[in-house]
Amino acid sequence: MILSDLIELETLRVIWWALMGVLLIAFALTDGFDMGVGTLLPFVAKTDVERRIVINTVGPVWEGNQVWFILGGGAIFAAWPPLYAASFSGFYLAMFALLAALILRPVAFKYRSKRESTAWRAGWDRALFVGSSVPALLFGVAVGNVLLGVPFYLTDDLMPMYEGNFAMKFLGLLRPFALLAGVVSLSMLVMHGAAWLSLKAEGPLAARARAIGTYAGMIAAATYALAGLWLAVGIDGFAIQGEVVRDGPSNPLYSTVIHGGSWLSAYSDRPWIAIAPLMGFVGIALAVLGLRAGREVSTLLWSKLAITGIISSVGLTMFPFILPSTVRPDSSLTVWDASSSHLTLFVMLVAGAIFLPIIMAYTAWVYKVLWGKVTEDDVSEQSY
């Protein structure tokens, strides 16, 4: 018996589906407050010193936070090749817009304080705002489109093909429900950024962040509830028809999928998954109360709980689907038929078991070292 036979293919597929979710949640928990802080920058900071304080609350950690984004992309590429191929080819223009916005952030961080010019710094502040708010919005739009289903199909040799011309591949993603999901994402991360600023800044700056974060949390709760209601009454879900083969070949065309019914039927089949949206609403409520009361550490933790619950609710509601097809439902990608080989998943799991704890320990150490408030005296010694 070879070592990889110790874990069945079905189990490995579920493990890597869960790990993909963990990596995406970790990215939202860490780089999410970076994006929230960048989005808040024009609204909470009134002077150049205050803007430098805001930027320096995330300046030392934003690069490390993006490790989770890279790990998530790498996991999708290696563990779910059909998902990587279908999503990147169909969302090409959206991905380009997302990456262009993400590129603005490091450039803004590095160049903002290279000149004393007010216009120069104001320009980079706007770039930082765009580089933070646009990804926060587009990540939610992407999730909304996955719930709606994507207009692609697989050829007999499993090549993904999309309907519509090149421009419509982007404009077609801007559907009302997807935009609503984008608002959920943006407001959620603004609340998270406000919780971070409440912890790292002080005085009027922190007070403004708490005030805006309170409203952002209310918007996040309202739009999240509206999205759930919309899913219940206005959007068809997907389901596998017939026997589900969990350890079969990675060929989505072997499954029969129907497009109809409700995504929320998953809650009657697996009632325990209701814990995810409950975490989302409870986390938002307690984070908002914490912001209003001026609490710091607990508010950030409640905000993290909200993000974990909201993102988890999407994955648990859709399981086992990871990219449904509206054109040919039988081409939909699921946990059971879109993975890499048994050996590949096992080798990746061993590597993950070794390196993920190292990354987590190092990240925790960095935050411990950088613990504390950012003050005016601190920014006078920094270059951001």
Report the alpha-carbon distance of residue 304 to residue 58 in Å, rounded. 17
Look at residue 1 in the predicted model and tell me its pLDDT: 47
Residues of the chain with pLDDT under 70: 1-4, 164-171, 381-384
Q: Which backbone phi and psi does 82 adopt, to 5 degrees?
A: -60, -35
What 3-state class would DSSP assign to 262?
strand
**What's the length of the chain?**
384
Nearest CA-CA partner of 331 in 240, 243, 219, 266: 240
Nearest CA-CA partner of 227 in 148, 329, 304: 148
Beta strands in the chain (DSSP E): 152-154, 160-162, 236-241, 256-262, 321-323, 333-334
**Residue 113 token pair:** 């304080």
The number of beta carbons lying within 10 Å of the beta carbon of residue 275 is 14
Report the alpha-carbon distance of residue 339 to residue 125 in Å, rounded. 42
Look at residue 333 in the predicted model and tell me its pLDDT: 94
Residue 58 near residue 208 (C-beta atoms within 8 A)? no
Look at residue 166 in the predicted model and tell me its pLDDT: 58
Report the alpha-carbon distance of residue 302 to residue 137 in Å, rounded. 21
Nearest CA-CA partner of 281 in 235, 226, 232, 199: 226
Report the alpha-carbon distance of residue 307 to residue 294 in Å, rounded. 20
Residue 322 near residue 17 (C-beta atoms within 8 A)? yes
Residue 206 near residue 373 (C-beta atoms within 8 A)? no
Report which residue type is found at 279: M
Tell me: cis bond preceding 60? Omega within 30 of 0 counts. Answer: no
Report the alpha-carbon distance of residue 235 to residue 231 in Å, rounded. 5
Q: Which backbone phi and psi does 128 adopt, to 5 degrees?
A: -65, -40
Which residues share a beta bridge with 334?
Answer: 321
